[in-house]
Amino acid sequence: MLRFIARRLLETIPVLFVILTATFFMIRFVPGGPFTAEKAVTPEVMRNLERAYDLDKPLWQQYTRYLRNVLLHGDLGPSFKYPNRTVNEIIAGKLPVSLELGAEALVLALVLGLTLGVLAAVKNNTWIDYVCSSAAMTGICLPTFVLGPLLVLLFAIHLGWVNASGWDGPADRILPCLTLGCVYAAYIARLTRGGMLEVLSQDYIRTARAKGASEVRVIFKHALRGGLLPVVSFLGPAIAGILTGSFVIETIFQIPGLGREFVNSAFNRDYTLVLGTVILYATLIIGLNLLVDVVQVWLNPKLKFE
């Protein structure tokens, strides 16, 4: 297993390098620059701005300088949009917020999704199954930008229990996590139900039952391990999605997270911040995919680390 992980980590290096290089040049070729504002900037001022950010140097020089700073010093450079902050600082300030939001939503999604999924599978074709499956279907159909404002209207404006937006106290976590978590819970519930139904009809489950194992033991010890496989393969990209795709949630609830910075940096042509967030998210996604592969082999004895 260690060899497998080491090999995968080695493969990561060229992948990240290609992503960094492609992003560096692609963002430069997007029309408009970081200082293309609606208001007048005379040629003298524009020259000074470009000189201050090394934009007057040839592109290859900017690229090698950037690469050197990142590799040797871990320095992602100054932000173009926020001159008194560095990209490292911005990421350090905002990543924890996105990670917290993502982690809490993920826990909620897992607890809710697995419970509904297992219940629906075990009570297949009963009213419990129909209720759970309908709830999951509703969750899939309701996009976050509909669910979020609905929850805000109900809990913040009509009932007045929580704030409509913001990220100050623990209560401010409830609505965003519910919104983000519910959608993923719905997918997890459907995948769990499908996976469990397939496993529950297998011979080894019948054997376990014939041996007199209790229903609880059959479900949690024997069936769940196999039934979870589709969920695990979904979780890799899903976690990445929760972390990077929190843009909508962060906008609806005015959360100072990295998801919004990731999108807005591209609109602002904040070259260094775009690169910083892309590198970070690429690393996260690669890491999570590796983790999922390891867990899959652990869950499914038919797979091997090859």
Task: Give dist(CA 13, CA 199) in Å, integer.
Answer: 38
Closest contact distance (angstroms) between CB of 80 and other proteins is 9
Asked whether position 36 contacts other proteins by CB under 8 A, the answer is: yes
Asked whether position 302 contacts other proteins by CB under 8 A, the answer is: no
* Residue 251 token pair: 């906008």
Residue 218 is given by DSSP the state: I
Task: Give dist(CA 265, CA 260) in Å, integer.
Answer: 8
Residues 167-226 binding other proteins (CB under 8 A) are: 167-172, 174
Residues 223-252 binding other proteins (CB under 8 A) are: 251-252
Binding test (CB under 8 A) with other proteins, winner from 30, 71, 137, 303: 30
- Residue whose CB is less far from other proteins, 162 or 213: 162
Asked whether position 269 contacts other proteins by CB under 8 A, the answer is: yes
- Residue whose CB is less far from other proteins, 44 or 203: 44
Q: Degrees (nearest 5) of the Cα angle 100, 101, 102? A: 90
Q: Are 94 and 258 in contact (CB under 8 A)?
A: yes
Q: Which stretch binds other proteins (CB under 8 A): 111-119, 154-162, 198-206, 213-221?
A: 154-162
- Residue whose CB is less far from other proteins, 237 or 256: 256
Q: Which stretch binds other proteins (CB under 8 A): 129-137, 152-160, 199-207, 223-231?
A: 152-160
Binding test (CB under 8 A) with other proteins, winner from 10, 14, 39, 215: 39
Binding test (CB under 8 A) with other proteins, winner from 10, 13, 37, 216: 37
Closest contact distance (angstroms) between CB of 160 and other proteins is 7
86 φ/ψ angles, rounded to the nearest 5 degrees: -95, 160
Give how far Cα 298 sits from Cα of 8, 227, 228, 295, Å: 17, 14, 12, 5
Binding test (CB under 8 A) with other proteins, winner from 5, 56, 75, 82: 82
Q: Are 275 and 66 in contact (CB under 8 A)?
A: yes
Helix H segments across 123-214? Answer: 127-141, 144-151, 174-200, 203-210
Asked whether position 305 contacts other proteins by CB under 8 A, the answer is: no
Task: Give dist(CA 121, CA 189) in Å, integer.
Answer: 10
- Residue whose CB is less far from other proteins, 38 or 215: 38
Q: Which stretch binds other proteins (CB under 8 A): 47-55, 133-141, 208-216, 272-280?
A: 47-55
Asked whether position 43 contacts other proteins by CB under 8 A, the answer is: yes
Q: How far apart are the first and last CA of the chain?
A: 9
- Residue whose CB is less far from other proteins, 222 or 260: 260
Task: Give dist(CA 87, CA 278) in Å, integer.
Answer: 12
- Sign of torsion, CA 140 142 148 150? negative
280 φ/ψ angles, rounded to the nearest 5 degrees: -60, -50
Chain residues binding other proteins by CB under 8 A are 30-33, 35-49, 51-53, 81-85, 90, 93-94, 149, 152-153, 156-157, 160-172, 174, 251-254, 256, 260-261, 267, 269
